[in-house]
Amino acid sequence: MELITRMRRLRENKILREMVSESDVKLKSLIQPLFIDESIDKRIRIESMPGIDRISISEAVKEAESIRKAGISSILLFGIPAHKDELAGSAWNDEGVIQRSVKLLKKETDMLIISDLCMCEYTSHGHCGVIKNSAILNDETLAIYQKIALSYARSGVDMIAPSGMMDGQVKAIRESLDDNGFKNIPIMAYSAKYESSLYAPFREAAESAPAFGDRSGYQMNYHNAKEALREVELDIKEGADIVMVKPALFYLDIIKMVKERFNVPVAAYNVSGEYSLVKAAAINGWIDEKRMINELLTSIKRAGADLIITYFAKQFAEMHIEQ
């Protein structure tokens, strides 16, 4: 008689179940994004992202401290400037919103501070690069990314994360950092960033929706997987220290492929729309929010992400303190 293979033996006892669990989400690998708005002094709720606010520069320190207290040690900053123009001038102003925030945060906290680097929050047209006759010019944009990177570096940022999907952006930024005495600032590259419907709540939060057209001329087409591997390969050659796949949940296959093929740390961005979907269902009582947060972050980890950028970071950390 054939023996039944008793898979359930390792499932029945909770301690044993946990002992043989293959992937766990560590608090140390989570990064909490923050939206810092230069022109406000009170928090402003982001309607499409319940639980996430736009905060002022002075409040950023308090917010960072409470995230730190929950057990999260890194934040990713997005700035919303008071003035926008064609060339994102406020992004490379040494007194800009990110620069002032980074200086304060580095002085007052011991967190790892990462700055997203793009133009779309700073341009009047909402695109991620320099525009001429409705075209986004790649190489002219690189020169501006270099200026922004240097200004962020001067403010004392710990890591830079270029998200504009211009060709050669990692190389351009790496070179200008190296040439100006910032050899040790790592670059976390948004390597495989897809043109996704899931960024809509972010664009409300950062007031960065494109005024015309969309981003399909520079962000990746979601029908493609091999192209993501080329993007990652190029970014590593150009000097990326960490590569990123974004979004995360609809792109777990990409995370897995990247993790299997390359030997650099892989980050996954669990984006605004992924957050909002969960929150909307939770508010309606349709799902168990805590169970879903655990399951979704674990799935990103299981796919192979070393780091996860997620709006759930602080909430997840607080859930774990409660346990």
- Would you please indicate which residues are annotated as catalytic (active-site) residues? 193, 246
Candidates 115, 123, 163, 315; binder of ligand PBG (CB under 6 A) is 163
Is residue 145 within the footprint of ligand PBG (CB under 6 A)? Answer: no
DSSP bridge partners of 115: 77, 160
Is residue 120 within the footprint of Zn ion (CB under 5 A)? Answer: yes
Q: Which of 322, 297, 321 is nearest to 311 (CA)?
A: 297
Percent helix / strand / coil, the chain, rounded to 5: 45, 20, 35
Q: Report what 290 binds from ligand PBG, Zn ion, none; CB cut-off 5-8 Å by kind.
A: none
Is residue 131 within the footprint of ligand PBG (CB under 6 A)? Answer: no
Is residue 204 within the footprint of ligand PBG (CB under 6 A)? Answer: no
Candidates 80, 113, 128, 248; binder of Zn ion (CB under 5 A) is 128
Is residue 136 within the footprint of Zn ion (CB under 5 A)? Answer: no
Separation CA 63–CA 59 (nearest Å): 6
Is residue 272 within the footprint of ligand PBG (CB under 6 A)? Answer: yes
Is residue 278 within the footprint of ligand PBG (CB under 6 A)? Answer: no
Long-range contacts of 57-66 (CB under 8 A, 24+ apart): 57/97, 57/100, 57/101, 57/104, 58/104, 60/34, 60/36, 60/101, 60/104, 60/105, 61/104, 61/105, 61/108, 61/109, 63/34, 64/34, 64/105, 64/108, 64/109, 64/111, 65/108, 65/109, 66/314
Is residue 202 within the footprint of ligand PBG (CB under 6 A)? Answer: yes
Residues 6+ apart with CB under 8 A from 161: 76, 114, 115, 116, 117, 187, 188, 189, 190, 244
Give the nearer residue to ligand PBG in terms of CB position, either 63 or 121.
121
Is residue 199 within the footprint of ligand PBG (CB under 6 A)? Answer: yes
Q: How many residues bind ligand PBG (CB under 6 A)?
A: 13
Q: Which of 276, 280, 281, 126 is nearest to 201 (CA)?
A: 276
DSSP 61: H
The DSSP-derived string for 204-262 is: HHHT---SSS-STTTSBPTT-SHHHHHHHHHHHHHT-SEEEEESSGGGHHHHHHHHHH-
Q: By beta-carbon distance, which residue lies closest to ligand PBG?
A: 202
Candidates 153, 187, 271, 297; binder of ligand PBG (CB under 6 A) is 271
Candidates 72, 105, 118, 268; binder of ligand PBG (CB under 6 A) is 118
Q: Report what 199 binds from Zn ion, ligand PBG, none; CB cut-off 5-8 Å by kind.
A: ligand PBG
Neighbour tally for 58: CB within 10 Å: 12
Give the nearer residue to ligand PBG in terms of CB position, either 21 or 208.
208
Q: Report what 144 binds from Zn ion, ligand PBG, none; CB cut-off 5-8 Å by kind.
A: none
Give the binding range for ligand PBG (CB under 6 A) out of 11-19, 21-29, 112-120, 166-174: 112-120
Is residue 76 within the footprint of Zn ion (CB under 5 A)? Answer: no
Candidates 120, 187, 266, 267; binder of ligand PBG (CB under 6 A) is 120
- Given the rule CB under 5 A, which residues bind Zn ion? 118, 120, 128, 164
- Given the rule CB under 6 A, which residues bind ligand PBG? 116, 118, 120, 128, 163-164, 199, 202-203, 208, 215, 271-272
